[in-house]
A and B are shown apart, each in its own frame.
Chain A
Amino acid sequence: MSLQIRLMAILASCVMLIIVVDLIRREKLRAQYSLFWLLVGFIFLIFSLWTNLLNLVARIIGIYTLPNALFFIGFVGTVVILLHFSVIISTLSIENKKLVERLSILSWRVEELEKGTKPRGKRKNKSNS
């Protein structure tokens, strides 16, 4: 693997890790949703720094050019992250549906209660008191 590609891979993983950590620090990204990003960033960084390990993994999975192996690992990591977020979106949409259903039932209940509530005497006028 050429030094140029290695440097690019190291730089890319470092920038990604810094952005993720900064997003957590600025409370734009919740820590629980950043774990996969951090994990994939670290794996990418380790493989970029330690080419012998990348070489070994590349041979095991049958890829003979190291940059391709690196991109393959990055691609798999991204797919895992996307799947993870699809699960999170599904959970959120179910929670959202539950909330909407409960809200609609509660709105009806509030309307019914308001119908049955009669005003108790005159309200005090603050400007006169």
Chain B
Amino acid sequence: MLNENKIMVLIPTYNEEKSIGGVIRGVREILPQVDIVVVDGESSDSTEEIARKLEVIILKVPHSLGIGGGVETGFSFADLRRYDMVVRVDGDGQHSPDQIPRLMQPILNGEADVAIGSRYIGAGDYKASLSRTLSIKLFSLIISAIIRQKITDATSGFQVVNGRVIEFLSRSYFFDYSEVEAIVLLRKAGFKILEIPVIMEKRTQGSSSFTFVRAFYYIFTGVLLLLISLLKGKTLRRD
């Protein structure tokens, strides 16, 4: 069943030279047949060179577009090349490639349109900073209330989506892609979302951009955007 589908692994990167090689090799080991697309936001280190040596597809986007712009570009690319499935993996080594098949299973079985890897269900013992944990918990609570489905890891970027979701996301230009808002929009558009327990590693390099001040800003803007996204029409749904 895996071979019948055209699968793309999307890795958004920005200065991930210490981890990107391991991530690409890890993905290739688990899924040798898939296309790996690295969307790089003008890294100033050798991320691009490392990815190029490993012969993956590299899309370059301006840093100002942020990780959201990188992810959107990846989905546009996937839509253009008619992929049946996109696996999103972070370039910092937090998402272990050997967990990808578990995430893919519900999509392959047709049980869900979006599978999200959650570090807060199951055996995972992921420890994040207090500000990050608080914001994840808060978003998860709000989203769960909005979409009337329990979501435990609202900010997880470890996801697998099917072709219909790829088409939907690649054409929804009016929102700056964030995992939190995407969950609400996708649910509103009628897509089935499923959380799968995964074990996430600590970042293998660099530091998270999540500081306490940023966390507050993230929560404030995130909640505001979430509330606004509720007012958006259902016209985004594509059949």
CB distance from A116 to the nearest CB of B (A): 15
Q: Tell me whether A100 and B59 are in contact (CB under 8 A).
A: no
In the docked arrangement, what's the CA distance between A104 and B65, Å? 12
Closest to A98 in B: B173
* CB of A25 within 8 Å of the partner chain: no
Q: Tell me whether A101 and B61 are in contact (CB under 8 A).
A: yes
Q: Tell me whether B60 and A104 are in contact (CB under 8 A).
A: yes
A-B contact count (CB 8 A): 34
Those of B59-109 within 8 Å (CB) of chain A: 59-62, 65, 69, 72-73, 76-77, 80
Q: Which residues of B contact A98 (CB under 8 A)?
A: 173
Q: Which A residues have a C-beta under 8 Å from some C-beta of B? A: 94, 97-98, 100-102, 104-105, 107-108
Q: Which residues of B contact A108 (CB under 8 A)?
A: 57-59, 77
Q: Which B residues have a C-beta under 8 Å from some C-beta of A? A: 39, 57-62, 65, 69, 72-73, 76-77, 80, 173-174
In the docked arrangement, what's the CA distance between A108 and B73, Å? 12
Q: Tell me whether B61 and A100 are in contact (CB under 8 A).
A: yes
In the docked arrangement, what's the CA distance between A98 and B60, Å? 14
Q: Which residues of A contact B173 (CB under 8 A)?
A: 94, 97-98
In the docked arrangement, what's the CA distance between A100 and B61, Å? 7
List 27 interface pairs A-B (beta carbons < 8 Å), by A numbering. Answer: A94-B173, A94-B174, A97-B65, A97-B69, A97-B72, A97-B173, A98-B173, A100-B61, A100-B62, A100-B65, A100-B69, A101-B61, A101-B69, A101-B72, A101-B73, A102-B76, A104-B39, A104-B60, A105-B59, A105-B73, A105-B76, A105-B77, A105-B80, A107-B59, A107-B60, A108-B59, A108-B77
In the docked arrangement, what's the CA distance between A100 and B69, Å? 9
In the docked arrangement, what's the CA distance between A105 and B60, Å? 8
Q: Which residues of B contact A104 (CB under 8 A)?
A: 39, 59-61, 73
